[in-house]
Chain A
Amino acid sequence: MSETAQTRKVRRAIGEGPATRIVLIMVALVFLGLMLIAPLLVVFVEAFGRGIGVYLQALALPDTMAALQLTLLVAVIAVPANLIFGVAAAWLITKFDFKGKSFLLTLIDLPFAVSPVVSGLIFVLLFGANSALGPWLEDNNIQILYAVPGIVIATIFITFPFIARELIPLMEQQGSSEEEAAVSLGASGWRTFFQVTLPNVKWGLLYGVLLCNARAMGEFGAVSVVSGHIRGLTNTLPLHIEILYNDNKAAAAFAVASLLAMLALVTLAVKTLLEARFAGEIAAQRRH
């Protein structure tokens, strides 16, 4: 008992007073509830507000299914593409020294810095009928704008920094001595990459992929500009939600929104599960 009293005393000595603590905790909770939990709840409450029948009906609409398919297709192309680009960029920037390195770093951040709508416009100007590329594309019958390729390109552009940005600090902190050890032991570049570099960054990489995926499925601004909003053809889920909402189909809009929110929640759940499953391994690698 005396020990507990001791601990309590110590805790009080290094902490703030009870009033301050309660106020700080309340502020945090209110903020969390208002900004994160309440919006999420609203989505689901509104979606199921008119019963599960209406909900399923809204999802089963052909336009919705088409939007879901397109969203998944775009993510399936954009995420692996950025996986390769991101890993290559991080590897180049952290393990080698060359001129223009900081310029490249700035360039990687560009999609974060530029407004998504502007990014979309860039592609319209690049591939549009009045651009330098436009006539050539038309002659060769290549449709980029207002079609799937345009959406994929815009999504890759917007989600480019996620994986690279996640990996660069991690790989920088780890330095290159393990790679140097591997090549001094006779390993080829590929072997070094797959057996030494990649295992060392796999958790950061997973996190980057999940973030990249979440954004690829949720991107609105840039995709909105390049897609042309053709129902059943070039509408992704976020665009479809907006159209439904503007058509005063709030229940349907929230139903589709809940689908998108669920995709995001599943992504986060997978991440948490993996982290719990491999907690020991992650801790062992961070130590030292």
Chain B
Amino acid sequence: MQVRTVNISKRYAGLAALDDVSLTVQPGELVALLGPSGSGKTTLLRTIAGLEPPDAGTVYFNDRDLSDSRIQDRGVGFVFQHYALFKHMRVMDNIAFGLRARRKNKPREDEIKRRVLELLDLVQLSGLERRFPAQLSGGQRQRVALARALAIEPSVLLLDEPFGALDARVRKDLRRWLREIHDRTGHTTLFVTHDQEEALELADRVVVMNKGKIEQSATPDEIYDTPATPFVFSFIGESSVIPVQVGNGRATLDERLLDLEIGALPDGPAQLYLRPEDVTMVTDGGPGIPGLVVSTRRIGGMRRVTIECGLARHRIEFDALAEVPINNSQRLTIRVIGGRVYGAGAEGYETERLAASATSDFKWAKAEGWLDR
């Protein structure tokens, strides 16, 4: 089932929760709606389910316009963050609820029972059908909720922060398990998350949302490697930002030329976004940006170093090998070897380091004066 939203808008008390959102999800696709709280991702999910009526716009399943379709008739499997299991019903009655509520093609009771046991097997909870929800762990409850949603053979599976209330370890297990279930059942699936790691690991496609708009919709690789907007860059992964000036296809920092190729960006002020891996330490005495170490912390096999550079003491983070000793207040020279520059219009450009021979003739060593203020 293809899911399509066309120009969906929704306002709460004058604030735009969704602002003209159009999104197409292909049949069988597993899509993550990723964004900070208040970005509209849950509202979009609930609008697709029919739990929120949009102020404007249309939702389509394949070519069926759902504007006048009640939620009961949409056939969506909805999984809530806090499970929303029926507390007074046993696990098997929870899962059977949707089948028993059918008015047309209601299966016989023994058929329902067979389906329930089958689903319990799918979600690896066989033997727990007589338990009440309160007698289950959080991870087990969420699996019951998924089995309950799958029982009605939904055309679309919608999950609202499905792992948000679980601890880190269970969350990781369930993530892998959800992917397996999706691959086995092939439902068109949308899930909402604020956890970028979860989105990038689980989804075929990630839709990054901010302030009721879609910032970027792309594969996890594209989202990380070529973020379309500064927001996506800083929301996904670690980032440092320094304001630069662009002129003649070059970027300057405090009127000093950076060793960077800037594509077709128009002249004027711009922002240089850097990931830790876009910065290296200069150890051979070559040119670079001098800075002062303000803090270091250990992350796995690397050491994350924060230094202050430039007149306005811009903070830049990069990773150094753990065995290289680096102390606070130490002077270092760094070199930018990647990153992206975003102009005033927020259009993004890949930056590239200039050829080694073309390093600027500017003597960065002189700039050590920066540090002696």
A182 in contact (CB, < 8 A): yes
- Most A CB atoms within 10 A — which of B73, B76, B84, B135? B84
Which B residues touch A287, using CB under 8 A? 134
Query: How many whole Å from B160's CB to the nearest CB in chain A?
Result: 9
Given contacts A284-B134, A285-B134, A287-B134, contact A185 B87 (CB under 8 A): no
Name the residue of chain B whose CB is nearest to the CB of A189: B72
Docked complex Cα distance between A199 and B133 (Å): 15
Name the residue of chain B whose CB is nearest to the CB of A177: B84
Q: Do residues A183 and B72 form an inter-chain contact, with CB atoms below 8 A?
A: yes
Tell me which residues from 54 to 83 in chain B have a Cβ below 8 Å from any Cβ of chain A. Answer: 71-78, 80, 82
Of the listed stretches B95-103, B114-122, B262-270, B343-351, name the one at the interface; the rest are far from the partner chain.
B95-103
Tell me which residues from 271 to 322 in chain B have a Cβ below 8 Å from any Cβ of chain A. Answer: none
Q: Do residues A191 and B51 form an inter-chain contact, with CB atoms below 8 A?
A: no
Docked complex Cα distance between A178 and B73 (Å): 18
Which A residues touch B84, using CB under 8 A? 177-178, 180-181
Docked complex Cα distance between A183 and B134 (Å): 22
B41 in contact (CB, < 8 A): no
A277 in contact (CB, < 8 A): no
Query: How many whole Å from A233's CB to the nearest CB in chain B?
Result: 46
Which A residues touch B224, using CB under 8 A? none
Which A residues touch B51, using CB under 8 A? 180, 184
B364 in contact (CB, < 8 A): no
Give the contacting residue for A285; candidates B74, B76, B88, B97; CB below 8 A.
B88
Given contacts A191-B101, A284-B134, A288-B134, contact A184 B78 (CB under 8 A): yes
Q: Do residues B76 and A184 form an inter-chain contact, with CB atoms below 8 A?
A: yes
Which A residues touch B152, using CB under 8 A? 185-186
Docked complex Cα distance between A196 and B88 (Å): 8
Q: Do residues B132 and A284 form an inter-chain contact, with CB atoms below 8 A?
A: yes
Number of residues of chain A lying within 8 A (CB) of chain B: 21
Docked complex Cα distance between A195 and B96 (Å): 13
Q: Do residues A199 and B88 form an inter-chain contact, with CB atoms below 8 A?
A: yes
B44 in contact (CB, < 8 A): no
Which A residues touch B145, using CB under 8 A? 181
- Most A CB atoms within 10 A — which of B49, B88, B145? B88
Which B residues touch A199, using CB under 8 A? 86, 88
Which A residues touch B76, using CB under 8 A? 184
Docked complex Cα distance between A181 and B97 (Å): 10
Which B residues touch A184, using CB under 8 A? 49-51, 71-72, 74, 76-78, 149
Q: Do residues A186 and B87 form an inter-chain contact, with CB atoms below 8 A?
A: no
User: Would you give 14 A-B contacts (Cβ < 8 Å), ordered by A?
Assistant: A180-B51, A180-B84, A181-B80, A181-B85, A183-B72, A184-B49, A184-B149, A186-B73, A186-B98, A188-B72, A191-B101, A195-B86, A196-B86, A284-B134
Give the interface of B toward A (CB within 8 A): 49-51, 71-78, 80, 82, 84-88, 97-98, 101-102, 132-135, 145, 148-149, 151-152
Besides A196-B86, A285-B88, 17 more A-B contacts (Cβ < 8 Å) are A177-B82, A180-B51, A181-B84, A181-B145, A183-B71, A184-B51, A184-B74, A184-B77, A185-B148, A186-B75, A186-B101, A191-B101, A195-B97, A284-B132, A284-B134, A288-B87, A288-B133
